């Protein structure tokens, strides 16, 4: 039998043990939510249009009409070659054309006169034949010089190197005063930056599986296409797939797919490394739990549940895809089961807890 002093000494610890607070945890229910499957692929941004501007005639550059790295509009003059020589050549051909037309006019008059004389039997047929031949020769000469005039006019137009589309220019390889010609190579590169395309390879196996699931009705096709930049930040514009290659690359067994993205602010650059996110057009209803509720050990995935008596239970589950911060549960749970999302490290199976239900709606993923 304990003495009174010893009994009194034991009472405070016993009282403290009986009044210790229960471990606090946060739980969330397993819910049926609409899940859209997603897939990530590495790709590169590729300009929708990209051309190297070249000279088609020779001459000295008298004007560079752009700022390197700046935007230009379709029809803007990028380079102007000294047009004096080509303008003079055109004027010379036009003078020759005027003379040829005058000669043609006289030949046609003579032909008509000889035709009238032959009709009156006042001239021989040979004279008419000769007049008709001279008229045909004069007409042919006019046509020949007209062709020369068109070529001279075309060469004159080539002294203005214009932007074929709206885009952004790179570094210029020549300055004012440089002598350039067809052999000079690229003078500047022009790139269309809006819209921008993104090319990414998809394994043939994944592509076939996707096509089969669409045909069977399990999926409805690709919906929005997302993009993540090289620094991991999400790109603010969504795109659309517009091309799937007709052949498989034998070295990698992949199929090239292309998507188009608006690029009004020029954030995407030609050649940039990006990550493409494909999401189903329509989702499927699946049982899901918050991603942080799923724990793993050597045996696989499990969750900690709290029953209606506030007692913790460990439950093994089979998981599916993870999307939108939620994990698809293929087996092991029922709708409404409460799983611990916060405080799991403070409790063990069989423990009684103080559970607060998370009220954030699961929504659509």
Fold (CATH) for 52-78+162-190:
OB fold (Dihydrolipoamide Acetyltransferase, E2P) (2.40.50)
Backbone dihedral angles phi then psi of residue 82, each to the nearest 5 degrees: -50, 115
Question: DSSP states of 162-186 as a string?
Answer: E-SSSEEE---S--TT-EE-GGG--
The pLDDT value recorded for residue 360 is: 59
The pLDDT value recorded for residue 39 is: 76
The pLDDT value recorded for residue 335 is: 93
What is the Cα–Cα distance from 90 to 151, expressed in whole angstroms? 9
The pLDDT value recorded for residue 322 is: 77
Dihedral sign of CA atoms 174, 178, 180, 184 in order: negative
Nearest to 337 by CA among 31, 33, 29, 25: 29
Q: What does the radius of gyration of the chain's CA atoms come to, in whole angstroms? A: 41
All residues at 6 or more sequence positions from 9 whose CB lies less than 8 Å from its CB, including other chains: none
* Contact status, residue 64 vs residue 177, Cβ threshold 8 Å: no
Q: Where are the alpha helices (DSSP H) in 74-124?
A: 84-119
Within a 13 Å sphere around the CA of 250, how many CA atoms are in the beta-carbon half? Answer: 0
- Structure token pair of residue 298: 């050597």
Render each residue's pLDDT in the chain as its tens digit; 365 residues.
444 444 444 445 544 455 678 899 999 999 988 776 667 889 999 998 999 999 999 999 999 999 999 999 999 999 999 999 999 999 999 999 999 999 999 999 999 999 889 888 888 889 989 999 999 999 999 999 999 999 999 999 999 999 999 999 999 999 999 999 999 999 999 999 889 999 999 888 888 877 776 676 655 556 678 899 988 888 988 898 888 888 998 888 899 999 999 998 889 989 999 999 887 655 677 889 999 999 999 999 999 999 989 999 999 999 887 777 888 899 999 999 999 999 999 899 999 999 888 765 555 55
What is the Cα–Cα distance from 157 to 81, expressed in whole angstroms? 10
Fold (CATH) for 84-157:
Helix Hairpins (1.10.287)
All residues at 6 or more sequence positions from 338 whose CB lies less than 8 Å from its CB, including other chains: 27, 28, 29, 30, 305, 306, 307, 355, 357
| Residue 122 DSSP SS3 | coil
* Contact status, residue 318 vs residue 330, Cβ threshold 8 Å: yes
**CATH architecture of the domain with residue range 38-47+191-282:** Beta Barrel (2.40)
DSSP state of 271: T
| Residue 239 DSSP SS3 | strand
Dihedral sign of CA atoms 234, 235, 240, 241 in order: negative
Describe the crossing of helices 125-157 and 84-119 by its angle, rounded to 10 degrees.
160
Q: What is the pLDDT of residues 171-213, one digit of tens each?
A: 999 999 999 999 999 999 999 988 999 999 988 888 887 777 6
For residues 194-231, one letter each, b for 16 or more C-beta atoms within 10 angstroms of the residue's C-beta and e for the rest, the string is bbbbbbbbbeeeebeebeeeeeeeebeebbebbbeeee
DSSP state of 331: E
* Contact status, residue 2 vs residue 252, Cβ threshold 8 Å: no
What is the Cα–Cα distance from 101 to 135, expressed in whole angstroms? 11
What is the Cα–Cα distance from 314 to 337, expressed in whole angstroms? 12
- What CATH number is given for 22-36+285-357 in this structure? 2.40.420.20
The pLDDT value recorded for residue 266 is: 85
Backbone dihedral angles phi then psi of residue 80, each to the nearest 5 degrees: -120, 125
Q: Where are the alpha helices (DSSP H) in 246-363?
A: none
The pLDDT value recorded for residue 37 is: 65
What are the domain boundaries of the chain?
A: 22-36+285-357, 38-47+191-282, 52-78+162-190, 84-157
């Amino acid at each position: 039998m304990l003495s009174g002093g010893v009994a009194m000494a034991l009472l405070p610890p016993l009282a403290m043990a009986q009044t210790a607070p229960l471990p606090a945890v946060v739980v969330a229910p397993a819910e049926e939510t609409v899940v859209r499957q997603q897939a990530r692929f590495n790709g590169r941004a590729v300009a929708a249009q990209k051309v190297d501007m070249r000279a088609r005639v020779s001459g000295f550059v008298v004007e560079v009409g752009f700022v390197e790295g700046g935007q230009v509009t379709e029809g803007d003059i990028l380079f102007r070659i000294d047009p004096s020589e080509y303008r003079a050549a055109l004027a010379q051909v036009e003078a020759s054309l005027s003379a040829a037309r005058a000669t043609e006019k006289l030949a046609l008059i003579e032909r008509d006169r000889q035709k009238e004389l032959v009709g009156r039997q006042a001239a021989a047929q040979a004279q008419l034949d000769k007049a008709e031949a001279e008229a045909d020769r004069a007409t042919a000469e006019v046509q020949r010089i007209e062709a020369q005039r068109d070529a001279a006019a075309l060469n004159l137009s080539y002294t203005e190197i214009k932007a074929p589309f709206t885009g952004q220019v790179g570094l210029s390889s020549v300055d004012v005063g440089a002598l350039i010609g067809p052999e000079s190579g690229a003078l500047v590169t022009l790139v269309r930056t809006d819209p921008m395309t993104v090319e990414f390879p998809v394994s043939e196996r994944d592509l076939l599986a996707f096509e089969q699931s669409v045909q069977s009705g399990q999926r409805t096709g690709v919906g929005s296409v997302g993009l993540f930049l090289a620094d991991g930040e999400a790109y603010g514009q969504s795109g659309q797939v517009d091309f799937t290659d007709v052949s498989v690359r034998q070295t990698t067994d992949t199929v090239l797919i292309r998507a188009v993205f608006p690029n009004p602010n020029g954030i995407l650059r030609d050649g940039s490394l990006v990550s493409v996110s494909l999401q189903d057009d329509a989702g499927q209803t699946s049982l899901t739990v918050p991603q942080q509720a799923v724990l793993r050990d050597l045996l696989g995935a499990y969750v900690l549940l709290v029953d209606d008596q506030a007692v913790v239970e460990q439950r093994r589950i089979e998981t599916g895809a993870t999307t939108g911060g939620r994990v698809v549960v293929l087996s092991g749970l029922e709708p409404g089961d409460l799983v611990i999302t916060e405080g799991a490290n403070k409790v063990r199976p069989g423990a009684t807890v103080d559970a607060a239900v998370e009220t954030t709606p699961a929504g659509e993923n």
